[in-house]
Structure 1
Amino acid sequence: MLILLPPSEGKEPAGNGDPFDPDALQFPELKPHRHQLLAALAEVSRADDALEVLGVGKSLVAEVTRNIELHTEPAAAAHTVYTGVLFEALGYERLDAAARERADASILVISALWGAVGFADRIPAYRLSMSVKLPEIGKLAGWWKPKLTPVLNARAGDDLVVDCRSSTYAAAWVPPASNSVSVSVFQLRGGVRKVVSHFAKHTRGELASHLLTRGAEVATPTELLEAARERWEAELVPGTSRKAHQLNIILPEDHAFRAVGN
Structure 2
Amino acid sequence: MHILLPPSETKRSGGGGVFSPGELANRAQLGDARTEVRSALEALSADEDAAAAALKLGKKSRGEIAHNRQLGDSGTLPAIDRYTGVLYDALDASSLDPAARSWLAAHVSVQSALFGLLGAADRIPAYRLSAGSRLPGLAAPLKQVWREAHGAIDWPALGWILDLRSKDYAELAPLPAGIGDTLLVAQRGPDGRTRALNHFNKAAKGDLVRRLAVSRPEIRSREDLLAWARGADLELSAGPGQDELTLVTDLGAPATAGAAAASAAR
In the TM superposition, what is the alpha-carbon distance from 1:82 to its structure 2 partner?
Answer: 0.8
Aligned to 2:244: 246
Q: In the alignment, which of 150, 162, 169 is matched to residue 152 of structure 2?
A: 150
Aligned to 2:22: 23
- 1:183-222 superposed Cα distances (whole Å, 9 cap, x missing partner): 1101123533221222110111111112222232111111
User: Are the counterparts in 2 of residues 2 and 156 from structure 1 also a CA contact under 8 Å?
Assistant: no
In the TM superposition, what is the alpha-carbon distance from 1:19 to its structure 2 partner?
Answer: 2.0
Amino acid at match of 2:147: K
Q: Following superposition, which runs of at least 4 residues in structure 1 exceed 6 angstroms of deviation? A: none
Aligned residues: 255
Amino acid at match of 2:220: A
- Please state if 1:62 is matched with 2:63: yes
Aligned to 1:95: 96
- 1:145-190 superposed Cα distances (whole Å, 9 cap, x missing partner): 1101222xx1542611010111110111122322201111011235
- 1:13-52 matched pairs, under 5 angstroms: 13-15=13-15, 17-29=16-28, 30-47=30-47, 48-52=49-53
User: Are the counterparts in 1 of residues 110 and 117 from structure 2 also a CA contact under 8 Å?
Assistant: yes
- Partner Cα distance (1:237, 1:3) in 2: 18
Report the TM-score, using the length of structure 2 for normalisation: 0.89
Gaps of 5+ in 2: none
Report the TM-score, using the length of structure 1 for normalisation: 0.90
In the TM superposition, what is the alpha-carbon distance from 1:5 to its structure 2 partner?
Answer: 0.3
Gaps of 5+ in 1: none
In the TM superposition, what is the alpha-carbon distance from 1:139 to its structure 2 partner?
Answer: 3.4
User: Are the counterparts in 1 of residues 100 and 214 from structure 2 also a CA contact under 8 Å?
Assistant: yes
Aligned to 2:116: 115
- Partner Cα distance (1:34, 1:256) in 2: 35
- Partner Cα distance (1:59, 1:146) in 2: 34
- Between stretches 187-196 and 24-33, larger displacement belongs to 187-196
Cα separation, partners in 2 of 1:19 and 1:182, compared to 1, 3 Å: same
In the TM superposition, what is the alpha-carbon distance from 1:22 to its structure 2 partner?
Answer: 1.4
- Partner Cα distance (2:208, 2:56) in 1: 30
User: Are the counterparts in 1 of residues 42 and 69 from structure 2 also a CA contact under 8 Å?
Assistant: yes
Amino acid at match of 2:89: E
Cα separation, partners in 2 of 1:128 and 1:254, compared to 1, 3 Å: closer
- Partner Cα distance (2:53, 2:41) in 1: 13
- Partner Cα distance (2:14, 2:229) in 1: 34
- 1:88-237 matched pairs, under 5 angstroms: 88-137=89-138, 138-151=140-153, 154-157=154-157, 159-189=159-189, 191=191, 192-229=193-230, 230-237=232-239
Cα separation, partners in 2 of 1:254 and 1:83, compared to 1, 3 Å: closer
- Partner Cα distance (1:24, 1:116) in 2: 13
- Partner Cα distance (1:114, 1:256) in 2: 30
Root-mean-square deviation (CA), in Å? 1.9
- Between stretches 100-109 and 40-49, larger displacement belongs to 40-49
